[in-house]
């Protein structure tokens, strides 16, 4: 028996490519997803530069680094995001495919990045840079956490524009009919099959709400004066947001089988939920430790 969805929102006529041109033998195309990465880094850079120019926000009214040092750090972070995000996607989501096609692992332009992998890459890059330059890791983590949500929000909006990572079938008032055979392959729903716009849920929770909370903490309550507090709220906040959204998001196709239609990988959880649990626990640990310690001047 098929279920009919009476009222849906047709996916807007959006192209994943902002513009494209040919430069002799070279074809260049600027994708919205690439623009989201660029915009996220730019907004994060502006937020950090503003914070570094405001000594009263930091422990002992002393920023942990100057502009030149931060620009050096930015190079490390970009590499951490790209390498970590790609390897995370390869290891967490398609290890079998890339084991058979190892030459495709560095082909990031074909798509395939994992936030949790990019997060690990950034943590490693920042920790190595911080130790090398003797920058307090707590303040460094707080600074980067404050600057991350805008990039998450833009990235999720780009996912929506690309009509990818959509949600589960739904008949609610803002359900969206995404294009493509995969999006329309709903076993119990006749066409058109509408779905949760879970990309926009993530943009709102991980980007707008979490980002706004962190900015209020930093600028309204000077949370940088308790090292690890902002980073802890970010870790836990992202993990909780992602865990919740996964209830509405379609599981990755490689985990869906006839006997496992929900794509669970462990204890009924999807991969995104499983990977978010350590972030929640680590974040809560940082928050408790920061609140128990003394607040600096």
pLDDT tens-digit readout, 13-57? 777 777 677 777 766 666 777 788 889 989 999 999 999 999 999
Strand 9-10, strand 176-177: pairing: parallel
Q: How many CB atoms lie within 10 A of CB 201?
A: 18
- The H-or-E segment that residue 17 falls in is strand 17-23
Q: How many CB atoms lie within 10 A of CB 96?
A: 8
Show the tokens assigned to 84.
Answer: 């970590």
Instruction: Yes or no: say if 109 and 153 are a contact pair by the CB < 8 Å rule.
Output: no
Q: How many CB atoms lie within 10 A of CB 248?
A: 16
- Which DSSP symbol is given to 220? I
- Which DSSP symbol is given to 176? E
What's the CA gap between 119 and 296, in Å, rounded? 28
Q: What is the per-residue pLDDT for 1? A: 42
Per-residue pLDDT tens for 134-155? 999 999 999 999 999 999 999 9
pLDDT at position 279 over 60:
yes
What's the CA gap between 65 and 62, in Å, rounded? 9
Of 167, 139, 168, 158, which Cα lies nearest the Cα of 58?
Answer: 139
- As a whole-number percent, the residues of the chain with pLDDT over 70 amount to 92
Cβ partners under 8 Å of residue 192, min gap 6: 5, 8, 10, 177, 184
Kindly report the backbone phi and psi dihedral angles of residue 29, in degrees, each rounded to the nearest multiple of 5, phi listed first.
-135, 125
What's the CA gap between 172 and 27, in Å, rounded? 41
Per-residue pLDDT tens for 214-256? 999 999 999 999 999 999 999 999 999 999 999 999 988 778 8
DSSP 3-state assignment of 229? helix
Instruction: Yes or no: say if 63 and 55 are a contact pair by the CB < 8 Å rule.
Output: yes
- As a whole-number percent, the residues of the chain with pLDDT over 90 amount to 53
Q: What is the per-residue pLDDT for 2? A: 46
Of 147, 137, 154, which Cα lies nearest the Cα of 39?
Answer: 154
State pTM to two decimals: 0.86
Kindly report the backbone phi and psi dihedral angles of residue 291, in degrees, each rounded to the nearest multiple of 5, phi listed first.
-75, -25
Cβ partners under 8 Å of residue 143, min gap 6: 48, 51, 52, 64, 224
């Amino acid at each position: 028996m098929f279920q009919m969805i009476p009222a849906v929102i047709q996916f807007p006529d959006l192209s994943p490519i902002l513009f494209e041109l040919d430069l002799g033998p070279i074809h260049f195309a600027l994708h919205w997803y690439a623009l989201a990465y660029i915009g996220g880094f730019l907004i994060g850079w502006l937020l950090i530069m503003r914070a570094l120019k405001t000594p009263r926000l930091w422990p002992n009214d002393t920023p942990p680094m100057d502009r030149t040092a931060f620009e050096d750090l930015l190079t490390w972070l970009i590499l951490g995001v790209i390498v970590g995000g790609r390897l995370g996607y390869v290891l967490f989501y398609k290890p079998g495919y890339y084991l058979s096609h190892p030459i495709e692992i560095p082909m990031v332009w074909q798509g395939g990045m994992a936030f949790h992998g990019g997060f690990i890459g950034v943590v490693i890059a920042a920790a190595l840079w911080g130790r090398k330059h003797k920058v307090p890791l707590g303040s460094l983590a707080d600074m980067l956490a404050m600057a991350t949500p805008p990039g998450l929000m833009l990235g999720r909006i780009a996912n929506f524009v690309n009509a990818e990572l959509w949600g589960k079938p739904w008949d609610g008032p803002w359900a969206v009919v995404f294009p493509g055979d995969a999006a329309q392959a709903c076993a119990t729903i006749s066409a058109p099959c509408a779905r949760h716009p879970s990309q926009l849920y993530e943009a709102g929770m991980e980007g707008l709400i979490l980002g706004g909370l962190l900015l209020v903490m930093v600028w309204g309550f000077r949370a940088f004066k308790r090292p690890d507090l902002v980073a802890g709220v970010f870790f836990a906040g992202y993990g909780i947001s992602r865990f919740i959204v996964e209830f509405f998001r379609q599981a990755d196709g490689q985990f869906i089988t006839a006997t496992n239609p929900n794509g669970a990988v462990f204890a009924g959880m999807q991969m995104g939920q499983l990977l978010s649990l350590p972030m929640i626990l680590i974040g809560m640990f940082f928050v408790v430790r920061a609140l128990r310690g003394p607040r600096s001047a």
